[in-house]
Amino acid sequence: MDPQLTSLIVSTSETAHIEETLDRLIADTGANYSMLLDKSGQVIAWSGDTDRQDITSLGALLAGTFASSREVARLLKEKEFKVLFQQGIRENIFTELIAEQWMLVVMFDKRTHIGLVKVLSKRATDELTGVLDRVKTESRAKDQIISTSFRTSVEDTIDLLFKD
């Protein structure tokens, strides 16, 4: 990843591609919910139960857990832990790293077998790696979105909201 790249721009067509991949993963595994996270904790896309609350908090916490496990890997002289599995009584969470930048999260209950989730997540992460490569290339041309007038408007909003 280019460390000097300050933002990732996910286009409408790539978002559609990501959502299609997540929809198919849910349909094929019978999982309840799936989402794509950036390693910074931001949710890029999701699919599944529409009534799930607190997606933002979930994204921050899951990304935090993964980042923490990466540091554990470093202490153990492992390159990385590519996969994390959290087992609950009702629901389980499977998280897989995508090219050290994104994470694919799948939430499922006892009706879905972990083996199936593992195999099909691997297929999905391969597809999403391709998406990430294209997004990184496209992110270099960002002037159309982040214009000077956009920055000025954000600054005005910041002045308006951030006050005692």
Residue ranges in contact with another protein by CB under 8 A? 1, 3-12, 15-16, 38-42, 44-45, 54, 56-57, 60-61, 63-64, 67-68, 70-72, 74-75, 142, 145-147, 149-151, 153-155, 157-159, 161-164
Q: Which residues pair with 55 in a beta bridge?
A: none
Treating both helix axes as pointing N-terminal to C-terminal, what angle do 12-29 and 114-138 enclose, rounded to 10 degrees? 180
The minimum distance between CB 76 and another protein, in angstroms, equals: 12
- Cα angle vertex 28, ends 22, 30, to 5°? 90
First to last CA, the chain: 39
The minimum distance between CB 44 and another protein, in angstroms, equals: 6
The minimum distance between CB 125 and another protein, in angstroms, equals: 18
C-alpha pair distances (Å), 95 with each of 57, 102, 126, 157: 16, 10, 14, 36
Q: Which is nearer to another protein, 27 or 55 (CB)?
A: 55
Length of the chain, in residues? 164
The minimum distance between CB 39 and another protein, in angstroms, equals: 5
Q: Which is nearer to another protein, 62 or 124 (CB)?
A: 62
**Three-state secondary-structure class, residue 89:** coil
Q: Which is nearer to another protein, 129 or 157 (CB)?
A: 157
Q: Which is nearer to another protein, 86 or 147 (CB)?
A: 147
